[in-house]
Structure 1
Amino acid sequence: MTIQFYQQLIQVLNQGAAVVATVTRVRGSVPREQGAKMIICEDGRTFNTIGGGAGEAKVIQQAKEVLKTGEKQWVEIDLSGAPERETQGVCGGLMQVLLERWSGEKAIALAEKILAHLQIGQSIVLITSFEDQIPYILTSEYPIPSSDQIFIETLQPPPTLLIVGAGHVGEQLAKIADFIGFKIVIQDSRLEFTHAERFPPNSIIYNQSIFKVLEQLKGYNNLYIALVTRGYQYDIEALKCILNFKFSYQYIGMIGSKKRIKMVYKNLEKSGISSQQLEEIHAPIGLEIGALTPEEIAISIGAELIQVYRKSKSYVNNVQDTE
């Protein structure tokens, strides 16, 4: 996701110039969404993807020219399969990709500034114009230019996954969720299960009560919660706190058999939790793929997280007409 992209871009720029390719417009069926990015280096290495195949090959070829000239380019990728058009695929749609060379101290400083905002959970608006050498962050000092060839892009910080329970499933889920781009937060009172080396780098680990953890997370706008505790009594404790806490979250899921889930729900209803609140819970957690091992269960949960994330994600990116 976005943080990993800019971390990689900073590493590349410290070695030399690179082209950033960004999908700025899509129509019909295409392999990547608006805002998808990849990096093309001077030595031919690439990072990330804007869809692969012949269309991406065309972008890489054009990037070589951009690296030489420094002049931005729009690349049209035709995936319609229409016989009368130059075609790079048969997905059915069209993609427009912006190519721009990033190089030097100013580009590194911009990438570092973008990364700093994202790492503290702040969204930013990035303006790319053919009239400027490199993009810039939208502020009152630097407003949107009056140009008909600009790309306005909102960069969002990654979603956060709170994993309640640091056992075998929690450990594997942290790895899977980190791999697909989530910021990881772990809550478990057991010190013997919360050693930092069990979890991905930069994971935030709490041994405090769930209430104290939620107090730390109440400012997060893109929060996901997975309950993978060691027993139903811990589910009840956590859910009573979560469902009565005044904050927003995108997803909440709970591990367990149908019997365990029924026991938890019955207890929660007695404590005053409404049936409407219970309907928000994904239980049993994860997509049904027949998962049995901690690793398989983690993958099923990760798949459900992706499903919910992609359904709820609304792209506020916009590109002005360049034709």
Structure 2
Amino acid sequence: METHGSVPQAERAKLIVHPDGRAEGTLGGGNLEARVTADALRVNPGEVRVVEYDLADLGMVCGGAVKVLYYRLQPVPEEQEFYRAVEEHAATGVPFVIAHAVMADEMRLPRLLIVENSVVARAGGTFPAEDGAISAAIELGSPEGRAKLSSPRGTIYLERVAPLPRLLIFGAGHIGASLARTAHDLGLFQVEVADERDELLQKVTQHGVRAHRVGPGFVGRLPALDSRTYVVIVTRSHVTDFAVLKQVLQQDALPRYIGVIGSCNKKREVFERLRTAGVPEERIGRVTIPIGLRIGGKSPSEIAVSILAQLVKVKNGLGAGDADE
């Protein structure tokens, strides 16, 4: 719920503890997570519990403090319908807000699912200061915005949930396939791969990655793009790389990131060809060549890791940097 000082995880980190002690998610590991896991098993059905932990008391050198909200979910229709609605809205790709009201008496946990400016699902009984919660939800503009409101009956915590950014990889060869698998396994992006070769697409789909079959030479209609898409172009040749890049830059909405594999020499050649083709300079400036952060590796797997590191850097608002920094 809240953190003070140096702590191993950000506010609103979550941990699901199963009755057999298995856990999903993380509070940062270490003694804190072990203690919370053990304490969670002692929470009664429907019980709401708020506990503050001093990390120094747990032998953790970071020395801060955290406030943890415990709630034991019950297999009752109201709970099931609420979280089913959350799951359904998460699948739409539309951001939404979940509001929790921690009541002063800690007897129940009212919750709201807010989409745009409307409550679409609720659980836990009457929600205090509902209008205020909706107004605050509308103002949460950042992808992972959070807010805290106080009311005479308790404290309201709001969290904006945005869909994972989309990673669209053009090219299912060694580097593209390795990047797709790694990004998918880490759960940082919704991963899609586009290629003209069916046999390579079949391999990436075995790892849970969505595949797009495109026309020969990557000429023709490509998958739709938007501002939450990260595009990585690693096709089989410079010719097809350029064909894809040119089409990407002709889209109305440019992706968040556009990266093309290649050298600094390729960058100069590609940029000159784009200028000759009449592509505006501000659009050309959105293209990253070479791609990836400099980690010294040359294998497909190492190159994929360097590219993914750069994507995460951009996602976290730190800019792409250069592969040759």
- Provide the TM-score with structure 1 as the length reference: 0.77
Contact 2:181 2:209 in 1 (8 A): no
**Aligned position for 2:100:** 128
SS of 1:130's equivalent in the other structure is strand
Q: Structure 2 CA distance, aligned partners of 1:311 and 1:286?
A: 16
State whether residues 163 and 225 of structure 1, in contact with CA within 8 Å, keep that contact through their aligned partners in structure 2. yes
Structure (1/2) with the larger helix percentage: 1
Alignment correspondent of 1:155: 161
Q: Which residue of 2 aligns with 1:117?
A: 89
Unpaired segments of 5 or more residues in structure 1?
1-23, 314-323
Q: Which moved more, 1:234-243 or 1:137-146?
A: 137-146
Kept in 2: contact 1:171–1:198 (CA 8 A) = no
Structure 1 window deviating more from structure 2 (141-150 vs 68-77): it is 141-150
1:40 deviates by 0.9
Per the alignment, residue 205 of structure 1 pairs with 212
1:281 aligns with 2:287: yes
Q: 1:53 maps to which residue? A: 30
SS class of match (2:317): helix
1:129–1:186 distance in 2 versus 1, CA, 3 Å:
same
Q: Using the TM superposition, give the Cα deviation of residue 92 of structure 1 relative to its aligned residue in structure 2, in angstroms.
A: 4.9
Q: How many residues align?
A: 281
Q: What is the CA distance between 1:199 and its match in structure 2?
A: 4.8
Q: Percent identity?
A: 32
| Aligned match of 1:261 | 267
Q: Does 1:224 align with 2:233?
A: no
Residue of 134, 145, 150 corresponding to 2:128: 145
Structure 1 residue 190 corresponds to structure 2 residue 173: no
- In 2 relative to 1, CA 299–202 (structure 1 residues): closer, same or farther, beyond 3 Å? closer
Deviation at 1:170, TM superposition (A): 0.8
More off after superposition, 55-64 vs 190-199: 190-199
Q: Contact 2:198–2:213 (CA<8 Å) still a contact in 1? A: no
Whether contact under 8 Å (2:113, 2:120) holds in the other structure is: no
Q: Which residue of 2 aligns with 1:100?
A: 71
Most deviating of 284-293 and 107-116: 107-116
Could you say what secondary structure the match of 1:261 adopts? helix
- Cα distance, 1:161 vs. partner? 0.3
1:75–1:97 Cα contact (<8 Å) kept: yes
- Which one of the candidate residues 146, 165, 176 is aligned to 1:170? 176
Cα pair distance change 1:254/1:92, threshold 3 Å: farther
Query: What do the CA deviations read for 1:297-322 (whole angstroms, capped 9, x no partner)?
Result: 11111111222212279xxxxxxxxx
Displacement, 1:70? 3.1
Counterpart of 2:139 in structure 1 is none
Do the aligned partners of 1:162 and 1:185 also contact (CA within 8 Å) in 2?
A: yes
Q: CA RMSD in A?
A: 2.6
Corresponding residue for residue 12 of structure 1: none
Name the CA distance, whole Å, in 2 between partners of 1:309 and 1:149.
31
- Cα separation, partners in 2 of 1:35 and 1:133, compared to 1, 3 Å: closer
Which residue in 2 is equivalent to 1:7?
A: none
TM-score normalised by L of structure 2:
0.77
Structure 2 gaps of 5+ residues are: 130-150, 320-325
